[in-house]
Structure 1
Amino acid sequence: MSEYQKQPPPYGMHNPPPSVPPYGPPPNVPPHLLQPQGPPPLSQPRLLVQGQFGPAPSSSICPSCNIPVMTRVEHESTAKTHLFALLLCIVFFPCVCLPYCMDSCQATNHYCPNCGAYLGTYDH
């Protein structure tokens, strides 16, 4: 038989490992080191409070990438925008497009410029 075809020795033939208790804490370890440690406290909040944003870009902490950012703003038409346009259509037709051109008639969505995550909405 060649050297590569040899079989390993049976289980009883090798030296057993040193005696270690299978369960329980290691000996001589202070109890405060055995307690599970949570994550370190953050110096800044991770969650954003609704209503924190305004109509202009604002500084915030992105919950996705955890870095301070100046938000990227996008304006979006809402039901309120469409209702104003309908009202203008009834009252004075040539001004029907004004609510779609005015930022104050639209919702302001805030996004992270780094990762693109949605952070919140400011609705006038």
Structure 2
Amino acid sequence: MSQPGYPHQNAPPPYGMHPPPPQQPTVVIVGGGAGLGSASTTIQCPSCHATVKTRVEREATTRTHLIALVMCLFVCWPCCLFPYCIDSCKGANHYCPSCGAYVGAYAN
């Protein structure tokens, strides 16, 4: 039995009282800027808050396609596939290995 003046468990909060706002995740910035490079980086994950070494996945970017196009037009058309095989010509997407959350990207 509830005491007088106290709201029931399932009742909304009294007028003027609001529940506390949800806490926002803390993002740790490593070094200058985002701190993400082309290689795996040790960071604190903004989602699970674990200190991890990021998992890097390479992806062709607009720059990769432009390099391939220039090589195809001016250099040698069989060589136009090299930018798709070289990691330094691609962008690096960083993910948390613990929870799989996207952390950030690095583009040359």
Q: Normalization by structure 2: what TM-score?
A: 0.71
Which contiguous aligned blocks of 4+ residues in structure 1 show a shift greater than 2 angstroms? 20-23, 48-51
> Which of residues 71, 74, 86 in structure 2 aligns to 1:91?
74
- 8 Å CA contact 1:51, 1:122 repeated in 2: no
Structure-2 separation of matches of 1:51 and 1:65: 18
- What one-letter code is carried by the residue in structure 1 that aligns with 2:83? P
> Which of residues 53, 67, 71 in structure 2 aligns to 1:70?
53
Aligned counterpart, 1:57: 40
CA RMSD of aligned residues (A): 2.9
CA offsets 1:8-28 (integer angstroms, 9 cap, x no match): xxxxxxxxx9xx7727xxxxx
Give the deviation of 1:61 after TM superposition. 0.8
Q: Classify the secondary structure of the residue corresponding to 2:67.
A: helix
Equivalenced residue count is 92
Shifted more, 69-78 versus 88-97: the winner is 88-97
Give the deviation of 1:103 after TM superposition. 1.1
> Which of residues 80, 84, 106 in structure 1 aligns to 2:63?
80
Aligned counterpart, 2:16: none
1:99-118 superposed matches below 5 A: 99-118=83-102
Q: Structure 1: where are the runs of 5+ without partners? A: 1-16, 24-36, 39-44
Q: Normalization by structure 1: what TM-score?
A: 0.62
- 8 Å CA contact 1:48, 1:119 repeated in 2: no
Q: Structure 2: where are the runs of 5+ without partners? A: 7-19
Percent identity, please. Answer: 47
CA offsets 1:42-82 (integer angstroms, 9 cap, x no match): xxx92144531011100001111111000000100011110
Aligned counterpart, 1:122: 106
Give the deviation of 1:91 after TM superposition. 1.2
